[in-house]
Amino acid sequence: MIVLDDRLCALRARSAEWAADLRAIALDLDRDPDLIRRHLNLPVIEHIGLFQYPRRFHPRPLVVDGHRFHGDSALEHVVCFEELAAGDIGALIAAPGAPMAGPLVALLGDDDQQEAFFGRLLAEHTWTFLALTEPGGGSATDRLATTIEDLTLSGAKRYIGNATRSGIGVVFARSGPGPLGIRAVLVHGDDPGFSATALPTVGLRAALLSQVDLRGVPLDRSRLLGEHMSAARRGTWSWVRVFNRIRPAVAAMALGIARAAYDYVRTNRHALSPAERDRLAALGVRIDGVRQLVWRSAVAVDADPADGHLASAAKACATSLAEDAAAAALGFFGAGARLDHPLLDKLARDARGTEFMEGTGNVQKLAVYHHLARRRRDHG
């Protein structure tokens, strides 16, 4: 069993304080995602943006009770993100910064690319996007249809968060056959041929999930990430490690939704029958168990970024928990709960949205299966 030390307990407590600011704007952002621009001066919004920058671009690390945090460990991320998502996952992912594209640029970018990317984010509030999923093939890289030909980018992406308001992002495309032909490139929101259109969504509305169209976007070699690396290391080797590090944070956000639903019942239903108390207690035990899995998955990827099977297991379990917890919480308030308790209604809608972040449950279960099958083969 993992027990947080004083340092991480301090981070958790500060994140819980910040979560109250996110909760205060949750329903407003759900109604109008652009309202995030009115809240950019909140301390929590500033630190969400900075938390995943490389240290050399991190001008002021977070200091809590004398402890310094650069946000460069997966365990720090999951401890912080569970609390913030319990406040509101919509506000968390609507904040400017580089929660997904940043780690990829930090790993694949050369010095000039990192300077251009993170320098821009430091200079002004800038949203970023990471575009992998496509209308025809989802996030399966073997079905990637977006292409780079003669330094021209063409294709379409779908369900890309924050794309309509982003200044810069990373797009995955194919420059040749096989896994070595997959490239990640920097794209600016004002590039000719680039357009993004917000999609109507039921959950995670604040994220402005979008359709991205790339109609002959001109590139130069400075946009190609990993040019200074071997073909083997700039392809699957790199981005698998990045996604392994991101996945525990997504699991933590789903866990935060489950926590919020559980806490809502505890706060607003005082007279519970014995059966209801048992149901609520069982939900609390399940939340504690999934939290241990999320923490353990973060420790695993901190030790070895190539080892992502626990991250996949955590993501699958946490998103399932989020949906079950939100549905169960609605059940404690009876018919009409979605109308009478708009926050619970939002939690149920957002919970479903986490299923499609960073690969669905079936994708995660396949990843766990392949790990177990490989280990059985290797060890007879």
Residue 318 near residue 290 (C-beta atoms within 8 A): yes
Rg of the chain over CA atoms, in angstroms? Answer: 20
Residue 139 near residue 363 (C-beta atoms within 8 A): yes
pLDDT per residue as tens digits for the range 275-321: 999 999 999 999 999 999 999 999 999 999 998 999 999 999 999 99
Q: In one letter, which amino acid is 279?
A: R
pLDDT of residue 304: 94
DSSP string, 235-266: THHHHHHHHHHHHHHHHHHHHHHHHHHHHHHH
Is the pLDDT assigned to residue 248 strictly greater than 90?
A: yes
Q: Which residue has the higher pLDDT, 49 or 16?
A: 16
Mean pLDDT of 153-161: 96
pLDDT of residue 378: 76
Mean pLDDT of 227-232: 87
Measured in whole angstroms, the distance separating CA 251 from the mean position of its chain's CA atoms is 8
pLDDT of residue 130: 94
pLDDT per residue as tens digits for the range 106-142: 999 999 999 999 999 989 999 999 999 999 888 777 8
Mean pLDDT of 181-192: 95
Banded model confidence at residue 380, pLDDT cuts 50, 70, 90: low
Mean pLDDT of 166-172: 96
CA distance 354 to 204: 8
CA distance 301 to 241: 8
pLDDT per residue as tens digits for the range 73-99: 999 999 999 999 999 999 999 999 988
Q: In one letter, which amino acid is 71?
A: G
CA distance 99 to 78: 13
pLDDT of residue 3: 96
CA distance 356 to 359: 6
Is the pLDDT assigned to residue 143 strictly greater than 90?
A: no
Banded model confidence at residue 376, pLDDT cuts 50, 70, 90: confident
pLDDT of residue 374: 83
pLDDT of residue 238: 80
Is the pLDDT assigned to residue 23 strictly greater than 70?
A: yes
Mean pLDDT of 318-334: 97
Mean pLDDT of 4-19: 97
Q: Which residue has the higher pLDDT, 277 or 231?
A: 277
| Domains (range + CATH), the chain | 6-94 (no CATH), 126-231 (2.40.110.10), 236-378 (1.20.140.10)
CB atoms within 10 A of CB 51: 25
Q: Under the phi-then-psi rule, with left for phi > 0, alpha for psi from -120 to 50, and beta for the rest, what region is 166?
A: beta
Q: Which residues pair with 183 in a beta bridge?
A: 173
CA distance 189 to 322: 33
User: Which run of H or of E encompasses 101?
Assistant: helix 101-108
Between the alpha carbon of residue 359 and those of residues 113, 135, 287, the distances in Å are 27, 14, 21
User: Which run of H or of E encompasses 109?
Assistant: none
Per-residue tokens: 28: 């407003």
Residue 326 near residue 257 (C-beta atoms within 8 A): yes
CA distance 127 to 135: 23
Banded model confidence at residue 235, pLDDT cuts 50, 70, 90: confident
CA distance 134 to 143: 9
Among candidate residues 100, 89, 175, 87, the one with its CA nearest the CA of residue 131: 100
Mean pLDDT of all residues belonging to the chain:
93
pTM to 2 decimals?
0.94
pLDDT of residue 372: 86
110 φ, ψ to 5°?
A: -80, 180
Residue 188 near residue 116 (C-beta atoms within 8 A): no
* Local structure of 191: helix, strand or coil: coil
> What burial letters (b/e) apply to 298-333, b meaning 16+ CB within 10 Å?
bbbbbeebeebbbbbbbbbbbbbbbbebbebbbebb
pLDDT per residue as tens digits for the range 25-64: 999 999 999 999 999 999 899 888 777 788 888 777 889 9
pLDDT of residue 56: 84
CA distance 286 to 11: 23
